[in-house]
Amino acid sequence: MCHVEVSEFEDPDHLDGIEHAEVVFGELATDSGELSTDWDRAAATCSEVYCHGSFALGSDGDITGKSDPVVWTETNPDPAACDFCHELPPAGHPQVPDTTPGSCAGCHGSVVNSSGVIIGKNLHINGEGNF
């Protein structure tokens, strides 16, 4: 989960006596505490968020995402598009002749199908797929 789920309006992880609601990031967003994920209310951005490109994968950590801050008050590119979080293929990935989302299925078939649709979401975002 990217941020702690709020079950009630006055939940301590939502409103606890301070002026504005808090954003408490979960294990996925912080990569189990490895990242210094930050919400900047004034800029309406969250940054260094695993699920938006702050990751390094591979045996040497050489496959990386974009890690650009996400601005929640602007029209963003489609967050479901591959290049929202990483290049296609991701930076550091071995070069391949075809760089369409569907071409990933050749090696990462348990993660994405030949139409470029993520079919193994838990394998894709947590870095434990066919990397």
Kindly report, residue by residue over 9-35, the tens digit of the pLDDT. 666 666 666 677 677 888 888 888 889
pLDDT the model gives residue 15:
65
Distances (CA, A) of 13 to 9, 26, 66, 114: 9, 11, 29, 40
pLDDT the model gives residue 79:
60
Of 119, 128, 131, 129, give the one whose Cα is nearest residue 31.
128
With a cut of 70, which residues of the chain have pLDDT below it? 1-4, 9-18, 21, 75-80, 125-131
In the 8-state DSSP scheme, what is residue 118? B
Question: 0.75 cut: is pTM over it?
Answer: no
CA distance 119 to 113: 6
CA distance 35 to 48: 6
Residue spans per domain, the chain? 1-92, 96-131
Task: Check: CB of residue 95 under 8 Å from CB of residue 114.
Answer: no
